[in-house]
A and B are shown apart, each in its own frame.
Chain A
Amino acid sequence: MFGYITIDKSEMLVKDYEAYKAVYCTLCKQLGKDYSVFSRFILNYDCTFYALTALALSDDCPGFCSSRCRFNPFKKCNYLKNDTKALSLAAALTVVTFYYKLVDNIADGSFFEKLLCYIILPYASSWKKLAKKKYPEIDAIVKEMSDSQFEVEKDEQCLIDKAAEPTALMLARVMELLEDDPQKRRVHHNFGYFLGKWIYLLDAVNDFESDKKHKLFNPYIIKYGDSKKEHIDEIRQSLDNCLSEALLSYRLMDIKRFDRIMENVLYYGLTKRQKEVLENKEK
């Protein structure tokens, strides 16, 4: 997970922003409770969005309360009152994805990166074990993503769709976990699939220059060669397509609350993030 799924604060009502922050802070607290104080540092926006989606779909309202922040005792934060499954699922997803990201970095990082990863690895591994005990399905899903990503990257003629498939399927499956009804699971699958694809592709655009320098796998380098400047419109279209499909799926979901926050993410947050990444590289 890369932290691309964010809100656009300027397009938000203050009450919605407070609610979003409450979800963020509660996930942080949940990480501390389920794993360790240090696991709070790996909190990210993608997993916050996952928690938000899970809460938006759940039947009972979480409710809010306020208490002090662990990192800044002078500040009072809003938290969700009830302990919900949504947050422990999101916390498990956070540590599991973090662990596999580390393993991936060890495989193709620079020397110092590897060193750093090796230092953190034992902690991450112990958190992952705890998470696996609680939610073995999450570990299985992320592990499969990591394995198939490794397979895909061996293909030197890899298509964009194929390269994005492992990440897309990972998010599709974790979204499916939030629903039991088979028809609705299809909607969730599609929603997660295209969000995951979008995350993967945007990350590929973001890493284009550094992957070129270090001769690492990148589907856009395979398709467009060394220069992506002339193809920036095509790249934008491939990203836009993922967002359109995700929005179509979102409209078929049973959203019970937080709809304005979800729409803020889908309408403004994602496009803003995408624009930032594309324009940064256009210069």
Chain B
Amino acid sequence: MNPYQVLGVSETATDAEIKAAYRELAKKYHPDNYAQSPLADLAEEKMKEVNEAYDKICEMRKNPSSTNAYSNSYSNTYSNTSSQYGANYTHSDFPDIRRLIREGRLDDALQLLNGIQGTGRNAEWYFLMGMVYSKKGWSEQAYSYFQTACRMDPTNSEFRSALDNASTRRNYNPSGYNTVSSAGCSMCDICAGVMCANCCCECLGGRGCC
């Protein structure tokens, strides 16, 4: 596929424009956004496509004679950090369940998890419950399980990042503009403004207006 099309820019675009388009896309498809999402793998693929397209354009522009040369030597600024999710733990009490979750066999994983009773339900158990529910789309349940996991083991970075990701998604403001009405000029602001102006008038020797 044409790398320019992947980035959504024309072939005559300047280097700066290309970089901006790449940044925009990289921000959109960054693996951190899709952590714990059932679509994480597809976002990762997309990210790879964007990275490759950008590398290819850079290579083509740097070295115009070899338009078809393709080098992967560029170090990508946005690497796939979360592809190792669930794989970067050093020790796990439930390796089988983690494998099931990775393979997408959520119902089997849930059954095994529910079979664990009493003291077996440690912080990791709550974390894995959260993972299963998160992949199922039951985000309310997932959120409360992640919260419990973090409360039981506040030092674990894996649990913490899962909770942070879930919390980020609980605030939606894609347009970047603040939808809280009080941020604008509310009636209160107007009243306060008038009162201040009135005080100023009085200070300057006027009689104020009320």
| A residues apposed to B, CB below 8 Å | 11, 159-162, 165, 168, 183, 186-187, 190, 193-194, 197, 237-245, 247-249, 251-252, 266-268, 271-272, 275
Contacts and interface: CB of A to CB of B under 8 A. Distances in A.
A281 to B, nearest CB: 15
B105 interface: no
B138 interface: yes
Interface string B164-198: 00101111111100010000000000000000000
Q: How large is the interface on B (under 10, 10 to 19, 20 to 34, 35 or more residues)?
A: 20 to 34
B42 A241 contact: no
Given A252-B43, A268-B175, A271-B179, A244 B140 contact: no
B170 A237 contact: yes
B82 interface: no
Nearest to B43: A252
Given A168-B137, A197-B137, A238-B170, A190 B179 contact: no
A256 B174 CA distance: 21
A128 to B, nearest CB: 28
Given A161-B139, A245-B37, A251-B29, A240 B171 contact: yes
A118 B142 CA distance: 42
Pick the 9 closest A-B CB pairs, nearest first: A161-B138, A240-B172, A237-B170, A244-B169, A267-B175, A243-B172, A241-B170, A160-B140, A267-B174
A11 B174 CA distance: 14
Given A241-B166, A251-B29, A252-B43, 9 more contacts: A11-B175, A159-B140, A186-B42, A238-B170, A241-B172, A245-B169, A248-B33, A248-B39, A252-B46
Contacts of B34: 248
B138 A237 contact: no
A161 B134 CA distance: 11
Contacts of A266: 174
A243 B33 CA distance: 14
Contacts of B171: 237, 240, 244
Contact of A187 (B39, B133, B138, B169): B39
Given A240-B170, A245-B169, A161 B37 contact: no
Contacts of B141: 159, 161
